[in-house]
Amino acid sequence: MLIAQITDLHVGRVIETTSGPIDLLDRLVDAVNEINHSENLPTIVMVTGDISNHGHPDDYLRAKKVLDTLTMPYYIVPGNHDHRQQLRKIFAEHQYLQTNSPFLNYTLEQYSMRIIALDSLNPGTHTGLLCDERLKWVDEQLAQQPEIPALVFLHHPPNKIGSPYVDRMMCTNGETLGKIIEQHPQVKGVACGHVHRDVVISWHRTVLFITGSSAFSYDLMLKDVDDLDPVFEPSVYRLFNWQEETGLISHLCFIGHHPRGLSEGVPLPPS
């Protein structure tokens, strides 16, 4: 099973650069085209938050129009820039969002790997939150099918990355989530976004994958600063490959056209 992850789309934002303005909707178009034309077509795409920059209905409609051109099913997880009720309204045909719960948590059971989506949105702040109700929910979901491998998706990383500015906006109760994950060894990975950089951490007997944005990056800054400026490095998406015989493998895929060389074959090593 191949699972693509795109994150931090921020549709509705236009960023001024030294080369002129960049509309982040165009970056989403590039990401969707890249996935649709990949030699390694994913089974599904997980969109892990910050779909809109301001939570405006028009921005969600614009994002949805592009996401709907994906040739495979996609599923959304809210981020700190998102608005739950707008997501439910605009993505009305996404039945997994239409529940009585105040949170957008759901589990996908129809694939060879269970996909567990966990809502870490804490309205009014960029910091994530996993309250007791959400932590209980994810624990119960994992306890239901301990024999089936699972991959957990949320927006906010539940662990610090060593960048003080970013670490102030991490997920409250992330360590409690880690202790829950430890009790469920079928969890092969936890995937999130929010940081706008790629980070991989060995975490609570599994692997924490923090995927870079499909729109723009931030500089890696390990000292404390007051703010970070957007950087237009090659944008990315992550591709998970789950196979029983190999386990979970992650590939970071770059979006866009890049110079290609001509192969000279594989020379024999010196004798």
SS3 track for 143-174: HHCCCCCEEEECCCCCCCCCCHHHHCCCEECH
DSSP state of 235: P
- Residue 110 maps to which CATH number? 3.60.21.10
In a domain, 203, yes or no: yes
Residues 13-39 as b or e (16 or more Cβ within 10 Å = b): beeeeeeeebebbebbebbbebbeeee
In a domain, 33, yes or no: yes
In a domain, 54, yes or no: yes
Per the structure, the count of domains in the chain is 1
Residue 200's SS3 state is strand
Is it the case that residue 267 has pLDDT exceeding 80?
no
In a domain, 266, yes or no: no
Is it the case that residue 125 has pLDDT exceeding 90?
yes
Q: Which residues pair with 21 in a beta bridge?
A: 16
The domain of 60 spans 2-254
CA 11, CA 13: separation in Å to the nearest integer?
6
In a domain, 268, yes or no: no
Residue 44's SS3 state is strand
Question: For the segment 214-225, what is each residue's pLDDT rounded down to a tens digit?
Answer: 999 999 999 999
| pLDDT interval class at 268 (50, 70, 90) | confident
CA 271, CA 265: separation in Å to the nearest integer?
18
In a domain, 183, yes or no: yes
- Polymer length in residues for the chain: 271
In a domain, 193, yes or no: yes
The pair of three-digit structure tokens given for residue 37, joined into one six-digit string: 């034309």
In a domain, 271, yes or no: no
Average pLDDT over residues 97-114: 96
| pLDDT interval class at 197 (50, 70, 90) | very high
